[in-house]
Amino acid sequence: MKRFRLFEERRERRREQAKHVMSINLVSMMDIFTILVFFLLVNTGDVEVLPGKTGVKLPESTAQEKPKQTLVILINAQGVFIQGRKLAAMETLLTEEASLIKALRTELEYHRQKNVEGKRADFNGAVTIIGDKNLPFKVLKKIMLTCADAQYGNISLAVQQKAAGHG
């Protein structure tokens, strides 16, 4: 009988201990995650990343206006690219006498047609040119003339923003 009573007491102690099991406070955890989400939204919404800046040193500017999302043309020492697709080699651009770049014009027309077929009302002929600051003006002029000929007359040049108080 004494054994049975000890067994019952032990079982009773275990029941009491089971009642005092810790629980997770989900309210405070949700508060922390909410604050974390707002912090990340506020601090990441201000950064504008231009695609494919590899091998390109941008010129500096004091412009304060933020760039808009447009079609991007990258020009580096290898040639002209749209969305990672090489359209013309730099050697060809420097030696060719034509004022327009046929491959670039064809690609721009394709993108314009894609916007028109997609019924996108925001097509405004905007394009951003990312070019090295040492890019020959002859090449830049050809690219800008080609853009204008393909109805991309709203041309922006990507620049590196100077730090405040310099220059």
Alpha helix stretches (DSSP H) within the chain = 2-19, 26-44, 90-95, 102-117, 137-149
Identify the pLDDT of residue 145.
93
* Number of structural domains in the chain: 2
Q: Are residues 30 and 64 in the same domain?
A: no
Is pTM beyond 0.75? Reply is no
Give a yes or no: residue 167 inside a domain: no
Q: Are residues 67 and 28 in the same domain?
A: no
Give a yes or no: residue 121 inside a domain: yes
Q: Which domain holds residue 28?
A: 2-44
The CA distance from 45 to 68, in Å, is 14
Q: Are residues 66 and 138 in the same domain?
A: yes
Say whether pLDDT at 32 is over 70: yes
Q: Are residues 37 and 65 in the same domain?
A: no
Q: Are residues 31 and 67 in the same domain?
A: no
Give a yes or no: residue 35 inside a domain: yes
pLDDT tens digits for 75-108?
A: 888 889 988 889 999 898 888 888 889 999 999 9
Between 81 and 58, the more confident residue is 81
Tokens read off for 140 = 């830049």
What's the burial of 6, exposed, middle or buried (CB within 10 Å: 0-12/13-18/19+)? exposed
Q: Are residues 37 and 84 in the same domain?
A: no
pLDDT tens digits for 103-151?
A: 999 999 988 888 777 666 566 788 888 888 788 888 889 999 999 999 8
